[in-house]
Structure 1
Amino acid sequence: MGVAYSVGEVDHLYTFFVQWSPDIYNKGKKKRCKPCNNVRKKRHNAYLVDKEVNGINKAFRKTVSKPKVAKKWEIITVKDSKRRLSLCSSVESEVDDSEYQEDDFPVLSHESQLLDEYHLQKLVAHLPPRTQGSPWQLAYSTVIHGSSLKTLYRNLANLDSPVLLVIKDMHKKVFGAFCSDPFRVSKYCYGTGETFLFSFNPDFQLYRWSGENSYFVSGNLESLQIGGGGGGFALWLDADLYHGASFSCPTFHNAPLSTHEDFIVQDVEVWTVQN
């Protein structure tokens, strides 16, 4: 026969059983406390945040890391290395005198009375590339052929190559001009922008074409003229190759080549630079 209990009694009895037998009546009924839930949530959220940050860091490192590039090796000779350095360092068309070796030194057909080793070293460094390495032939010398402009013209009549005019005056100053064409009698000026003036007075000075005019060279039986367009010629010689003059002129924007604008010639040499 069953026993009837009121609702209050049932609750009281259930409380008694739970208190004395919690393993049986409280199994599966435990509730997580809010503090534990909060801690786990924080740990879980922190884990998610850390995971996202780590993922971002890994992606960032992959983005900014330097790509692996295979090393390329090249074997070059010492000659190629010097040539590359020369090309990189060169900012002007003129060549540094120190770069010239013994192989670049000109071979002269005769011993010069006016040019020594220092003069040759300075001049050869500024000659056009088409003349580099070419032998120098003595075409005219006052010591050998006498002092005559007509003889100079005659000795150069069969030439088709640049010439180097070298003058030494009574003050022992050496100067002259490199001309792209051999000297000749002509009604009009001739020559190209390769023509330049030089002077050892006493330091080496070079005067290239300014581009202002094309009065390079002109000649007749009475005189030889180089440069012009102003109050005088850059270089002028008379028919006897005895009197000379040198003035500043627009063709080369040069200073007078000698210590005096008017000078007396001691010796003259003309060399041909054959291709």
Structure 2
Amino acid sequence: MWCRGKVVKSGTMKLLPDNIKVLYFANDNLEPRVEIIKVKDNKRRISLCSSEESEAEYQEEVDDGLPILTDHSQLLEDHHLEALGAHMPARTQGYPWQLVYSTAIHGSSLKTLYRNMACLESPVLLVIKDMQKKVFGAFSSDPFKVSKYCYGTGETFLFSFNPDLQTYRWSGKNSYFVSGNLESLQIGGGGSGFALWLDADLYHGASFSCPTFLNAPLSTHEDFLVQDLEVWTITN
């Protein structure tokens, strides 16, 4: 369990600094042990907690809004998470993020991506790395699905690392947030191209400026090839 550490000296107790936590491990098979750790280095590694711990207890200790990943990411490093955390909607703050789709695990298939999200109702974070090693993507207020009409809300935004984070929020010019069919997934529109477009194999993509977000192209080139792709969703 996570404990708020205290130091006892000369009969008095003192709180440890906020960035220091005392982690106590105990179960029937191992000797109990205590570890003192820095929260900044470990707050996104929920796997440090024993299987008997309550995630709710751990969540109470997280108060800075940084995304907590319950699975390993091939694409998101600490500096990505720190930058993105400040731009996430308030309703996502403090919740762990779970990997629901990865080309490295599930293969490259838009159908599989849709299938993995069929029962979701929470927002999703799409992360792409192109063949030029550039990382970019989109936060969608709604999980991706096949739909005849556009869906989503003004919470939806685009992002790109160049290497610093650039974000593009809803311009208010139209509501072409997300649309999808079995042949492609589209985000943004209303102009000569989509802000982000992916084919059925999640291998060929394109990114253009569009009225929905008034964005610059997200990828290294307007037409790009996907090296890796992940989709994350919040859990509660």
Tell me the TM-score normalised to structure 1 length: 0.62
Equivalent residue for 2:176, pick from 215, 223, 226: 215
- Structure with greater helix percent: 1
Kept after mapping to 2: 8 A contact 1:193/1:209: yes
Amino acid at match of 2:232: W
| 3-state DSSP of counterpart to 1:104 | coil
Partners of 1:102 and 1:161 in 2: CA distance? 21
- CA shift at 1:124, angstroms? 1.1
Kept after mapping to 2: 8 A contact 1:201/1:258: no
Kept after mapping to 1: 8 A contact 2:66/2:86: no
Query: Quick check: 1:195 aligned with 2:195?
Result: no
Amino acid at match of 1:259: T
Amino acid at match of 1:228: G
- CA shift at 1:203, angstroms? 2.0
The equivalent residue for 2:232 is 271
Equivalent residue for 1:119, pick from 58, 80, 102: 80
Partners of 1:231 and 1:274 in 2: CA distance? 36
Q: Deviations over 1:62-120 (max 9, x none)?
A: xxxxxxxxxxxxxxxxxxxxxxxxxxxxxxxxxxxxxxx87532221111000000000
Tell me the TM-score normalised to structure 2 length: 0.72
Q: Deviations over 1:181-211 (max 9, x none)?
A: 0000000000000000000022210000000
- The number of residue pairs the alignment matches comes to 175
The equivalent residue for 1:133 is 94
Q: Write the mapping of 1:56-67 to structure 2, written as runs, cut at 5 A.
A: none
Identity %: 81
Partners of 2:64 and 2:84 in 1: CA distance? 15
| 3-state DSSP of counterpart to 1:123 | helix
Residues 103, 207 of structure 1: alpha-carbon distance in 2 compared, 3 angstrom cutoff: closer
Kept after mapping to 1: 8 A contact 2:66/2:94: yes
Give the unaligned 5+ runs of structure 1: 1-100
Q: Write the mapping of 1:162-181 to structure 2, written as runs, cut at 5 A.
A: 162-181=123-142
- Structure with greater strand percent: 2
Amino acid at match of 2:80: H
Structure with bigger gyration radius: 1
Kept after mapping to 2: 8 A contact 1:201/1:257: no
The equivalent residue for 1:227 is 188
